[in-house]
Amino acid sequence: MAVVVETESPLGAVRLRRRLTVEEAAARARLHVDDVKALEQSRLYRFPSVERAVAATLVYGTALGVSEREARELAGLPVPPLTPGRRFVGVRRYLPGTAIVLLAAAVALLAIRPGPIGASPGPTTVQSSAQAAVELPPPWQIRVDVYNGTRTPSVATEIANEIGGPLAYRIGDVDNADRRDYVETRVYFPPGAEAIAARLAEDLGVPITALPGGSDKNRLVVIVGRDRAG
């Protein structure tokens, strides 16, 4: 299934200013083309960990020669006026830490917010204290498919970044749901996966709903509704 494509990001804007293709920029940074695309589209869940995504962003920003002023501008931070002594400084004299500012801009796009999917929302299952005592498999053993049930672009990617980054789940499909009129974001679970669904739902602050079928107890589905589409 196709991955939802993000709108232009700060990293994408940097590359376009230099009139580089994705392939040319990837070669300059010595990164895989798919990694560069993921960085530009804020799909951090592609990387094994948030730390690896941060490192790749630093490498990419440095390879493209991002200046302090450019990084601050892209990050939406105040840009100090040029002084006579700085106005004619060569464009290659960049501060070593400026890529970190650019990283902040890229990560800012992830605005942590909280779709086989055709299941109609069923009754919400109430979590019990007994579920918390159950020994559950670690998040990285759980596959989570994330679908956008609204007409707002990118919301599935945004919540997938949260689930696959800080929460450390394994991201599967990231796409649009078969319907675009979901009102409430929910975690859907197959038979036998209620406990792991309750754990993820608690982290996201959303309810859970049983799917009518399914045999993989280590797979969950999140459909993003209008309540998380901003």
pLDDT for res 180: 93
Task: State the Cα–Cα distance between residues 106 and 167, nearest whole angstrom.
Answer: 19
Tokens representing 174? 């990231």
Q: Which of 72, 137, 147 is nearest to 102 (CA)?
A: 72
Residue 90 pLDDT > 50: no
CATH code that applies to domain 129-228: 3.30.70
What is the rounded CA–CA span in Å between residue 170 and residue 145? 9
The whole-number average pLDDT for the span 79-100 is 48
Q: What's the pLDDT at 94?
A: 40
The pLDDT tens digits for 150-171 are 999 989 999 999 998 888 899 9
How do the domains of the chain map onto residue ranges?
A: 10-108, 129-228
Q: Would you say 155 and 224 are in contact if contact means Cβ atoms under 8 Å apart?
A: yes
CA angle 8, 75, 69 (to 5 degrees): 115
In DSSP terms, 148 is beta-bridged to: 176, 224
At 207, the pLDDT band (50, 70, 90 cuts) reads very high
For residue 136, give both structure tokens.
């559950």
Per-residue model confidence (pLDDT) at position 8: 56
pTM: 0.53
